[in-house]
């Protein structure tokens, strides 16, 4: 393993035996090869660890640390603590980097010295013939260009412009900014809230990451019930005059409230909506919050049908 790699690729691993090999191959096939791979095996009970070692058997630039199951955030934090690189790149064990992902991140690092975080566009893969991009609050004329995101929260008014497998960040910025291990739903959102209050994002509006959707062991498939979400009220109270942050927080409150309603969790639903400024929601979102449960379930089933035909129905647009 290089003594001072430029990138540290941190991969939390828990029961992804069917996917970890392709994930690791996507790292080993990068055009920029000055990196180390750090795998945190978070108590896997399948052949994930065995399959990972098989792919890496001819490599020397990796470290594997096994631990009892502690969750995604704890695994990321351990991986970061073991890293030697200047830039940390997180990669989930079922996602895929395109071959020039790290090269693109290095270019962003070199071009935008004022930035501390670097990211690219991504796509969601449901099957070989069912691949979609998310609805983003970005001018489509900027597609395939690199630029600085001045206001992360405003830009993420619709769906996120990055996913956790499509961003990287300077290790030096992590003083006080780690993943909250008490949160087990929307961990990434909490990280963004702590990070982008005062850090800038350099962005390549090119799809360079593919995230696999609708596979086992994904948090989003397990649902929000009995999960701990970020403390949105705390972030708002700490930054009372940040208008774009308030809009972003209300968009998240809306999204989580819908999930709580589907989970028949009235207490948490009511807690979230009482903090929403409904002026920050569009008409579709206001209607959905007031809709009966059977109607939400019906819409969710319709949405799944349309996804099979590469059509995304979303309330995150005007």
Residue 303 has a CB neighbour count (10 Å cut-off) of 13
Read off the pLDDT of each residue in 220-242 and give the average, rounded to a whole number. Answer: 90
Q: Give percent of the chain with pLDDT exceeding 90.
A: 83
- In angstroms, the CA 272 to CA 258 distance is 10
CA distances from 74 to 48, 80, 84, 180, 257 (A): 18, 10, 18, 8, 26
pLDDT range class, residue 219, cuts 50, 70, 90: very low
Instruction: Give the model's pLDDT for residue 185.
Output: 94
Instruction: Give the model's pLDDT for residue 222.
Output: 66
Instruction: Give the model's pLDDT for residue 216.
Output: 59
Instruction: Give the model's pLDDT for residue 98.
Output: 98
Tokens of 178: 């780690």
Instruction: Give the model's pLDDT for residue 120.
Output: 98
Read off the pLDDT of each residue in 81-93 and give the average, rounded to a whole number. Answer: 96
Read off the pLDDT of each residue in 178-205 and give the average, rounded to a whole number. Answer: 94
What is the CB-side half-sphere exposure of residue 262 using CA atoms within 13 A?
18
Q: Output 52 or 175, whichever has higher pLDDT.
A: 52
Mean pLDDT across the chain, nearest whole number?
93
Minimal CA–CA distance to 203: which of 260, 156, 263, 246? 156
CA distances from 66 to 39, 63, 79, 162, 288 (A): 8, 10, 11, 28, 44
Q: The whole model's pTM is what?
A: 0.93
- In angstroms, the CA 210 to CA 193 distance is 23
Three-state SS string over 304-315 comes to HHHHCCCCCCCC
pLDDT range class, residue 311, cuts 50, 70, 90: confident
Read off the pLDDT of each residue in 206-212 and give the average, rounded to a whole number. Answer: 96
For residue range 123-152, what is the model confidence (pLDDT) as tens digits? Answer: 999 888 888 888 888 999 999 999 999 999
Instruction: Give the model's pLDDT for residue 217.
Output: 56
For residue range 270-310, what is the model confidence (pLDDT) as tens digits? Answer: 999 999 999 999 999 999 999 999 999 999 999 989 888 88
Residue 90 has a CB neighbour count (10 Å cut-off) of 23
């Amino acid at each position: 393993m290089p003594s001072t790699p430029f990138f540290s690729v941190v991969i939390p691993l828990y029961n992804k035996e069917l996917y970890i090999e392709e994930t690791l191959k996507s790292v080993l096939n990068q055009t920029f090869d000055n990196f180390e791979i750090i795998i945190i095996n978070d108590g896997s009970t399948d052949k994930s660890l065995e399959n990972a070692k098989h792919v890496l058997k001819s490599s020397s630039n990796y470290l594997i640390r096994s631990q009892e199951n502690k969750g995604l955030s704890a695994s990321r934090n351990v991986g970061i603590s073991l890293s030697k690189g200047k830039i940390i790149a997180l990669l989930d064990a079922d996602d895929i980097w395109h071959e020039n992902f790290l090269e693109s991140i290095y270019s962003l690092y070199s071009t935008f010295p004022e930035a501390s975080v670097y990211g690219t566009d991504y796509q969601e893969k449901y099957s070989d013939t069912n691949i979609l991009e998310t609805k983003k609050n970005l001018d489509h004329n900027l597609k395939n260009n690199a630029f600085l995101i001045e206001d992360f929260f405003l830009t993420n008014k619709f769906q996120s412009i990055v996913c956790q497998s499509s961003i990287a960040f300077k290790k030096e910025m992590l003083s006080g900014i780690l993943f909250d291990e008490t949160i087990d739903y929307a961990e990434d959102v909490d990280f963004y809230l702590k990070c982008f209050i005062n850090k800038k994002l350099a962005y390549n509006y090119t799809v360079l990451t593919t995230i696999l959707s609708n596979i086992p062991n994904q948090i989003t498939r397990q649902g929000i019930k009995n999960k701990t979400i970020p403390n949105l009220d705390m972030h708002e109270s700490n930054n009372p005059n940040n208008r774009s942050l308030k809009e972003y927080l209300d968009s998240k409150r809306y999204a989580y409230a819908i999930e709580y309603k589907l989970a028949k969790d009235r207490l948490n639903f009511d807690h979230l909506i009482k903090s929403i400024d409904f002026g920050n929601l569009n008409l579709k979102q206001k209607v959905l919050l007031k809709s009966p449960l059977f109607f939400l379930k019906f819409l969710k089933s319709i949405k799944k049908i349309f996804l099979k035909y590469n059509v995304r129905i979303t309330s995150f647009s005007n």
